[in-house]
């Protein structure tokens, strides 16, 4: 199934109805081609709602909006004179976190009026919940900050590393935090002792990462193939080398997508192709073999039986695996 949208595509996701695309024209498009006007301006970030029903988007209109296929858009929160830069949701706790400038905010999908605002010294670039949905990691210049999602007055745990950190993720076991950086590298911390994990050697910036295989592998973009870091045991990738699959010296991997409990990896390339692979297996399966505009959004369905992709020219597709 292919689509040709007349706007840039911010994100590709899967909710309980199927694939969902968030667009730069402020609209949300569903796999059945339902269109909902969610924002007065561009969608800047998106995640699946904690219930799995629809998606939550942040826009340059300063609004956080819940959009479902069969319902009108619902404004969940607003930020005065600020863009919503990053967003995440936690199915385990029902919480939604989003960033606006130097502020990290938390709301409860089931409790109207609940909100926590946490301030940082520098702009917050990324946000991620831990697996239990109780703690939040926020990436910023100089490292990351860890907050308890529901506690109003607190001092964060600071994870320091020099440089600009552009995105953040927890490992599926909650034991590690990993950030992407403005430089061509990742950085990580083991939380039990704040041990630093230096994860470099990339030829370009890492824009996308995903855990798979029961959290034992972290896959990233940023190289001529998908880079795989081992996260087996209490030491994670410390003292271990990354491996690479799908190496192609004519292009770069732009996006990766996976599910923590599934062994399958999807990769979207700078030359417009999309492949899937089992890292432990042999060979790549190209679900989009035609070259074209760079892939800018990619998602794997919860059951790992569909992949959704979008390129920088507004073309998109959903393939059954």
**pLDDT tens profile 8-51:** 999 999 999 999 999 999 999 999 999 999 999 999 999 999 99
Q: What pLDDT, on a 0 to 100 scale, did the predictor assign at position 230? A: 96
Domains, the chain, in order of start with CATH, read: 205-321 (2.130.10.10)
Rounded Cα distance between 18 and 14, Å, is: 5
Q: Alpha carbon of 55 to those of 82, 109, 306: distances in Å?
A: 21, 12, 18
pLDDT under 50: residue ranges of the chain = none
What's the pLDDT score for residue 217?
Answer: 97
Q: What pLDDT was estimated at residue 234?
A: 87
C-alpha to C-alpha distance for 107 and 87, rounded to whole angstroms = 11
End-to-end CA distance of the chain: 12
Rounded to an integer, what distance in angstroms lies between the CA atom of residue 78 and that of residue 58? 9
Please tell me the distance from the alpha carbon of residue 27 to that of residue 35, in angstroms, as a whole number. 7
Condensed to tens digits (0 to 9), the pLDDT of residues 126-174 reads 999 999 999 999 999 999 999 999 999 999 999 999 999 999 999 999 9
Rounded CA-CA distance 307/299 in Å is 6
Q: How much is the pLDDT for 9?
A: 98
The three-state DSSP-derived secondary structure of the chain is CEEECCCCEEEEEEECCEEEEEECCCEEEECCCCEEECCCCCEEEEEECCCCCCEEEEECCCEEEEECCCCCCEEEEECCCCCCCEEEEECCCCEEEEEECCEEEEEECCEEEEEEEEECCCCEEEEEECCCCCEEEEEEEEEEEEEECCCCCCCCEEEEEEEEEEEEEECCCCCEEEEEECCCCEEEEECCCCEEEEECCCCCCCCCEEEECCCCEEEECCCCCEEEEECCCCCCCCCCCCEEECCCCCCCEEEEEECCCCCCEEEEECCCCEEEECCCCCCCEEEECCCCCCEEEEEECCCCCEEEEEECCCEEEEEEC
Residue 144 near residue 155, CB atoms below 8 Å: no
Q: How far apart are CA 223 and CA 208, in angstroms?
A: 11
């Amino acid at each position: 199934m292919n689509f040709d949208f007349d706007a840039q595509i911010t994100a590709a996701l899967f909710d309980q109805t199927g694939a969902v695309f968030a667009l730069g024209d402020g609209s949300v498009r569903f796999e059945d081609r339902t269109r909902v006007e969610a924002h007065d301006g561009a969608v800047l970030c998106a995640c699946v709602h904690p219930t799995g029903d629809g998606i939550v988007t942040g826009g340059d209109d300063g609004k956080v909006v819940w959009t479902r296929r069969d319902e009108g858009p619902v404004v969940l929160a607003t930020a005065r004179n600020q863009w919503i830069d990053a967003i995440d949701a936690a199915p385990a706790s029902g919480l939604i976190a989003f960033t606006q400038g130097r502020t990290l905010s938390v709301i409860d999908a089931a409790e109207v009026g609940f909100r926590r605002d946490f301030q940082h010294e520098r702009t917050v670039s990324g946000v991620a919940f831990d697996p239990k949905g109780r703690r939040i990691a926020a990436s910023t210049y100089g490292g990351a900050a860890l907050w308890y999602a529901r506690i109003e007055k607190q001092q964060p745990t600071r994870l320091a590393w020099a440089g600009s950190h552009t995105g953040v993720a927890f490992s599926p076991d909650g034991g590690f935090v990993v950030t992407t950086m403005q430089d061509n590298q990742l950085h990580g911390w083991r939380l039990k002792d704040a041990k630093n994990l230096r994860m470099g050697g990339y030829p370009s910036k890492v824009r996308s990462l995903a855990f798979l295989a029961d959290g034992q592998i972290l896959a990233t973009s940023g190289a001529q193939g998908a880079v795989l870091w081992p996260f087996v045991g209490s030491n994670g990738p410390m003292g271990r080398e990354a491996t690479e699959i799908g190496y192609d010296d004519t292009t770069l991997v732009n996006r990766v997508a996976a599910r923590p409990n599934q062994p399958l990896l999807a990769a979207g390339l700078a030359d417009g192709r999309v492949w899937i692979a089992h890292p432990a297996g042999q060979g790549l399966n190209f679900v989009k073999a035609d070259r074209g505009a760079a892939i800018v959004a990619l998602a794997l369905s919860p059951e790992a039986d569909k992949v959704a992709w979008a390129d920088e020219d507004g073309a998109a597709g959903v393939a059954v695996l």
